[in-house]
Amino acid sequence: MKQSFYERIGESVYRETLPNGLQVCIVPKSGFTKKYAFFATRYGGMDTRFQLDGKWLETPAGIAHYLEHKMFDTKEGNALQELAKNGAEPNAFTANSMTGYYFDSTDHFEENLKILLSFVSVPYFTEESVAKEQGIIAQEIRMIEDNPDWQIYMRMLQAMYSQSPARTSIAGTVESISHITAETLYDCHKAFYTPANMILAVVGDVDPYSVAELARRTLPRESGPVIPRDYGTEPECVVEKETKIAMEVSAPQFLVGFKCRSVQEGEDYLRMAVIGDLACDLLLGDSSPLYQRLYNQGLINTSFGGAYEMMPGVAYLYAGGDSRDAKTVAAEIVKEADRLVREGIDEDFYQRVRKAAFGANLRGLDSFENVAVSLTEGHFHGYDPFRFPEVFESVTREDIETFLRENVREDRMVLSEIVPKEA
């Protein structure tokens, strides 16, 4: 087991790749009573087309999320209840490119960890239980689809992308999940829930060697195959410039999105995340000239905000909130990005935003969950998240200006709107 000490952030990480290919990462936190374990697979909502045993499989949208729901079933009952009886607080989530199972506890940590590793690595489904779950998840999907925030976001992605599975909801649709069977769930588990495709991250006052040994004893010895995946090939252009829908909302809402260039794996992935986040803060943040101007003109309110997102094969910057004139706001965002590129970003403002962003990222290390998820994302995308200070310092103002020039342009923009239904 290799220990790495990161002087800039005052943290140590113990890492070991077990003989079965599982990556184990432990961050000791001496003196804390809470212990946090995160067991994740690089398999999410976008992984619907992949190769298994030499054959390409097309699986229904929503299957990764469906599998997450079913993984808590065991021959003996339900792992969620078993963990809760032991004083643990367990849960799980499915994202676009990962599924994670986790718990935190103060007592019985090793016993709880063994339960976690066991139920995630040994699936148990029946056709009857899978069919029963369809009704539960279908109801969840209908509730999501009635949510204006979800609608405006998904419609933005569908206007932006023609091929990428990013345009499909992680939960799928009522129709798509109707095609999921116990057999397809077993196929997906066999493909992606293998030690070499997974990571165990633990944060707390634990013995790293004991954690690794427990994982070694509990998990299968076979590593599993490397699974090729197909995320489609995206053109530079967007699918459609505008999309609008009427719903039961009290005020018009909008999202304006910019289709950015996709990012390569490795440390460049982390560096581009820093660049994109800084670009958002400088262009759209509540201390930015654009925000102040639009707010003073009554075009936006405090609901306005933006973010930069990366997924396999895609990346995009978006902003939105409530507005009576979304088209003007969208045009002003493009105009402000062009001004920052032409005139340059004000140095004092740039340094203030940099300092605030750096501090916010360091404060994130206070959260056990953030640490574990960051280690997981770094492992899956080929970078070390604890090298954040060095990567952050390598980013220049010119990098931000280049990002804005290449990505925040009218030809890469889509506008998604929701307006109130007429009485």
Report the catalytic residues.
68
Residue 247, classed as helix, strand or coil, is strand
> For 299, left (φ over 0), alpha (ψ -120 to 50), or beta?
alpha
Angle, helices 326-343 vs 397-407, to 10°: value is 140
Cα–Cα distances in Å, from 20 out to 17, 77, 205, 222, 336? 8, 28, 26, 5, 52
Q: How far apart are alpha carbons 232 and 41 in whole angstroms?
A: 21
- The closest of 343, 341, 26 to 203, measured between CA atoms, is 26
State the CB neighbour count (10 A cutoff) for residue 349. 15
Tokens 């203030």 found at: 352
Structure tokens at 346: 């004000």
- The closest of 33, 124, 1 to 72, measured between CA atoms, is 124
- Residue 197 sits at the vertex; the CA angle it makes with 191 and 201, to the nearest 5 degrees, is 140
- The closest of 232, 140, 189, 177 to 61, measured between CA atoms, is 177
Q: How far apart are alpha carbons 136 and 126 in whole angstroms?
A: 16
Task: Please measure the distance between the N-terminal and C-terminal CA atoms of the chain and give it in whole angstroms.
Answer: 66
- Residue 235 sits at the vertex; the CA angle it makes with 234 and 236, to the nearest 5 degrees, is 120
Phi, psi dihedral angles at 127 (to 5 degrees)? -60, -35
For residue 377, which amino acid is it?
E
Residue 420, classed as helix, strand or coil, is strand
| DSSP-assigned beta bridge partners for residue 266 | none
State how beta strands 413-420 and 242-247 pair.
parallel
Residue 255, classed as helix, strand or coil, is strand
Residue 186, classed as helix, strand or coil, is helix
